[in-house]
Protein backbone atom coordinates (compact mmCIF):
# COMPACT_ATOMS: atom_id res chain seq x y z
CA UNK A 1 0.00 0.00 0.00
CA UNK A 2 2.79 2.46 0.86
CA UNK A 3 4.17 2.01 -2.64
CA UNK A 4 1.04 3.66 -4.06
CA UNK A 5 0.77 6.42 -1.48
CA UNK A 6 -0.36 9.61 -3.28
CA UNK A 7 2.47 12.16 -3.31
CA UNK A 8 1.90 15.88 -4.00
CA UNK A 9 4.24 17.07 -6.74
CA UNK A 10 4.89 20.36 -8.49
CA UNK A 11 6.29 21.15 -11.89
CA UNK A 12 7.24 24.55 -13.26
CA UNK A 13 6.50 24.69 -16.99
CA UNK A 14 8.29 27.54 -18.77
CA UNK A 15 6.03 30.10 -20.42
CA UNK A 16 8.71 31.10 -22.93
CA UNK A 17 11.28 29.35 -25.07
CA UNK A 18 14.97 30.11 -24.48
CA UNK A 19 14.87 32.52 -27.46
CA UNK A 20 12.19 34.57 -25.65
CA UNK A 21 9.21 33.53 -27.76
CA UNK A 22 6.04 32.62 -25.86
CA UNK A 23 4.93 29.03 -25.51
CA UNK A 24 1.86 28.61 -27.68
CA UNK A 25 -1.32 28.32 -25.54
CA UNK A 26 -2.25 25.12 -27.41
CA UNK A 27 1.13 23.61 -26.56
CA UNK A 28 0.75 24.60 -22.90
CA UNK A 29 -2.69 23.01 -22.88
CA UNK A 30 -1.23 19.84 -24.39
CA UNK A 31 1.27 19.67 -21.49
CA UNK A 32 -1.59 19.94 -18.99
CA UNK A 33 -3.58 17.30 -20.86
CA UNK A 34 -0.53 15.00 -20.77
CA UNK A 35 -0.34 15.40 -16.99
CA UNK A 36 -4.12 14.85 -16.71
CA UNK A 37 -4.06 11.64 -18.76
CA UNK A 38 -0.96 10.23 -17.09
CA UNK A 39 -1.83 11.04 -13.47
CA UNK A 40 -5.58 11.66 -13.41
CA UNK A 41 -5.54 15.45 -13.19
CA UNK A 42 -3.53 18.59 -12.60
CA UNK A 43 -4.06 21.95 -10.94
CA UNK A 44 -2.44 24.99 -12.56
CA UNK A 45 -1.62 27.29 -9.64
CA UNK A 46 -0.76 30.31 -11.75
CA UNK A 47 2.21 31.93 -13.39
CA UNK A 48 5.18 32.55 -11.11
CA UNK A 49 8.41 34.47 -11.62
CA UNK A 50 11.42 32.20 -11.40
CA UNK A 51 15.07 33.15 -11.18
CA UNK A 52 18.23 31.15 -11.59
CA UNK A 53 21.92 31.77 -12.17
CA UNK A 54 23.31 30.73 -15.55
CA UNK A 55 26.79 29.17 -15.88
CA UNK A 56 28.14 32.56 -17.03
CA UNK A 57 27.01 34.10 -13.71
CA UNK A 58 24.09 36.05 -15.14
CA UNK A 59 20.78 35.93 -13.30
CA UNK A 60 17.98 34.79 -15.56
CA UNK A 61 14.35 35.65 -14.76
CA UNK A 62 11.51 33.86 -16.47
CA UNK A 63 7.82 33.20 -16.07
CA UNK A 64 6.68 29.65 -15.41
CA UNK A 65 3.31 28.00 -14.94
CA UNK A 66 3.32 26.27 -11.54
CA UNK A 67 1.26 23.07 -11.69
CA UNK A 68 0.40 20.71 -8.85
CA UNK A 69 -0.08 17.03 -9.62
CA UNK A 70 -0.85 14.16 -7.26
CA UNK A 71 1.27 11.19 -8.25
CA UNK A 72 1.26 7.70 -6.80
CA UNK A 73 4.64 6.92 -5.28
CA UNK A 74 5.11 4.09 -7.78
CA UNK A 75 4.57 6.60 -10.63
CA UNK A 76 7.29 9.08 -9.59
CA UNK A 77 9.66 7.83 -12.35
CA UNK A 78 6.87 8.41 -14.90
CA UNK A 79 6.32 11.95 -13.52
CA UNK A 80 10.03 12.69 -13.92
CA UNK A 81 9.93 11.31 -17.47
CA UNK A 82 6.95 13.54 -18.35
CA UNK A 83 8.83 16.54 -16.92
CA UNK A 84 11.79 15.73 -19.17
CA UNK A 85 9.50 15.38 -22.21
CA UNK A 86 8.06 18.84 -21.49
CA UNK A 87 11.59 20.15 -20.99
CA UNK A 88 12.74 18.80 -24.35
CA UNK A 89 9.71 20.27 -26.12
CA UNK A 90 10.40 23.68 -24.57
CA UNK A 91 14.17 23.39 -25.22
CA UNK A 92 15.14 23.56 -21.54
CA UNK A 93 18.39 22.32 -20.04
CA UNK A 94 16.79 21.67 -16.64
CA UNK A 95 13.23 21.27 -15.37
CA UNK A 96 12.20 22.25 -11.83
CA UNK A 97 10.01 19.73 -10.01
CA UNK A 98 9.13 19.17 -6.36
CA UNK A 99 8.35 15.68 -5.11
CA UNK A 100 7.12 16.00 -1.54
CA UNK A 101 7.58 12.55 -0.03
CA UNK A 102 6.90 13.95 3.47
CA UNK A 103 3.41 15.22 2.68
CA UNK A 104 0.24 13.23 2.34
CA UNK A 105 -2.45 13.78 -0.25
CA UNK A 106 -6.03 12.82 0.57
CA UNK A 107 -9.11 12.77 -1.62
CA UNK A 108 -12.18 13.59 0.46
CA UNK A 109 -15.39 12.46 -1.19
CA UNK A 110 -17.98 15.00 -0.04
CA UNK A 111 -20.99 12.76 -0.66
CA UNK A 112 -19.90 10.09 1.83
CA UNK A 113 -21.97 9.97 5.00
CA UNK A 114 -19.22 10.52 7.55
CA UNK A 115 -20.43 13.86 8.91
CA UNK A 116 -21.08 12.31 12.34
CA UNK A 117 -17.33 12.25 12.94
CA UNK A 118 -17.08 15.96 12.09
CA UNK A 119 -19.91 16.79 14.54
CA UNK A 120 -18.24 14.77 17.27
CA UNK A 121 -21.07 12.25 17.44
CA UNK A 122 -19.22 9.30 15.96
CA UNK A 123 -18.74 6.42 18.24
In this predicted structure, the answer to whether residue 2 has a pLDDT above a threshold of 80 is no
**Band of residue 46 on the pLDDT scale cut at 50, 70, 90:** very high
What does the pLDDT look like over 63-110, one tens digit per residue? 999 999 999 999 999 999 999 999 999 999 899 999 998 877 777 788
Q: What is the CATH number of domain 2-119?
A: 3.30.70.120
Domain positions in the chain: 2-119
What pLDDT was estimated at residue 85?
A: 97
User: Which position has the higher pLDDT, 32 or 55?
Assistant: 32
Q: How far apart are CA 118 and CA 28, in angstroms?
A: 40
**Band of residue 115 on the pLDDT scale cut at 50, 70, 90:** low
Amino acid sequence: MAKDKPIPCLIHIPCTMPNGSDIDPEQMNSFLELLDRQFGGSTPLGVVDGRWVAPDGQTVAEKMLRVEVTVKKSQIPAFEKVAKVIGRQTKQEVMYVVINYQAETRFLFVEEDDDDAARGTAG
